[in-house]
Amino acid sequence: MSPAIDRELVCTDFNAELERLRGLGLRLDVIYPADEPHTAILNDNGRTVRLTSRPDTPPPSTGLPAFHPEFVLTRGGGTSGEGRAGMHYRDLIPNRLGGRYIASHITISEGGLVNDWVHFHHIAFQLIFVRKGWVRVVYEDQGEPFVMQAGDLVVQPPEIRHRVLESSSGAEVVEISCPALHETFADHDLNLPNGRIDPARRFKGQRFLHHSAKDAQWAPFDGAQSQETGVREAIGGLAEVRTLKPGSSATIAIAPHVGELVFGFVLEGSAELDYCGNMKLAPADAFVIPPGEAWTLSVMSDDFRLLHVTSAVPSKSA
């Protein structure tokens, strides 16, 4: 529940004004959205201050927006906006499928320490996949900080406290969340690592998962080779995530999905997507297929790799 607001400040340059207020000693408690922040809640010696550059924008809903399926093709190389903690976000699903899902291609341009803090989210589910480079992260009840390499993935269950500590120069990750609009809540009382290890702990029915690509095997999948991640088991069937590469067949024919999200992101290489016509795919291209629709991949380069994500129908509340 959002706190009562004692004072509202409306600004034009949100990031600059936020840094000015924090420099004056105000404590940041909430910020949203992560990909292009426009609103923050700060504490000024016990008084609650709302800073916003979009005063007419409603706050995030406590439930899930209605799902509006459609085909989406987003080409790589598009513009990125400055997001939370100095990271740059490229929107992969611009219309957010009615506000149900957000997918972001995140880049950390400069290596070294990341200006992040211990935080959490109220979400239905959230997935982080490393495309390039590495990031060093730490999670509540998961022990010491660890490094995620290219191909690695984590499930961030609802309300788990976490923090990005450090990254390589030019690190890239793909983040998928449901719902699209959600707050980032700071936790000023918890230090990470928190000295407790409980890998079986459930957060709102989900458990944390770190998938290490170097330890995973490849197996046949619809004419391709698939590296499974264990996401389905970790979050109670809400989503499945796998990496696909060319297999025994020249064509990958993906069966229609019964659920909601069908998302693909080209990690490397090239291919042709056949859905209502043929479309050439290149690195960092992303697409969404409406549920219940068949689609195929062909003319794949030997180095073609695809991040493939599907979701079930989540519960009505995040």
Instruction: Render pLDDT for 173-198 as a digit per residue (tens, 0 to 9).
Output: 999 999 999 999 999 999 999 999 99
In a domain, 234, yes or no: yes
The β-bridge relationship of strands 81-82 and 153-155 is unpaired
Instruction: Render pLDDT for 4-33 as a digit per residue (tens, 0 to 9).
Output: 899 999 999 999 999 999 999 999 999 999
Please check whether residues 204 and 222 belong to one and the same domain. Answer: no
Domain range for 13 is 7-52
The conformation of residue 234, written as its DSSP 8-state character, comes to H
In which band, very low, low, confident or very high, does the pLDDT at 317 lie, cut at 50, 70 and 90? low
Residues above pLDDT 70, as percent of the chain: 98
Please check whether residues 84 and 207 belong to one and the same domain. Answer: yes
- For residues 298 and 251, give the distance between their C-alpha atoms in angstroms, rounded to a whole number: 5
Q: Given this model, what pLDDT does residue 291 score?
A: 97
Q: Given this model, what pLDDT does residue 86 score?
A: 78
Return the ∠ at Cα 277 (arms to 274 and 280), rounded to 5°: 60
Please check whether residues 101 and 207 belong to one and the same domain. Answer: yes
Contact 55, 74 (CB under 8 A): no
Please check whether residues 127 and 168 belong to one and the same domain. Answer: yes
pLDDT at 170 exceeding the cut of 80:
yes
pLDDT at 3 exceeding the cut of 80:
no
Residues above pLDDT 90, as percent of the chain: 89
Walk across the sheet containing 153-155 and list its strands: 81-82, 88-91, 102-108, 171-178, 125-132, 153-155, 209-211
In which band, very low, low, confident or very high, does the pLDDT at 318 lie, cut at 50, 70 and 90? low
Instruction: Render pLDDT for 251-272 as a digit per residue (tens, 0 to 9).
Output: 999 989 999 999 999 999 999 9
Handedness of CA 25, 28, 32, 36 (dihedral sign): positive
Radius of gyration (C-alpha) of the chain in whole angstroms? 20
Q: Which residues touch 20 (CB under 8 Å, ≥6 apart)?
A: none
Residue type, 171: A
Count of the separate structural domains present in the chain: 3
- Whether the model clears a pTM of 0.85, i.e. scores above it, the answer is yes
The CATH number linked to 124 is 2.60.120.10
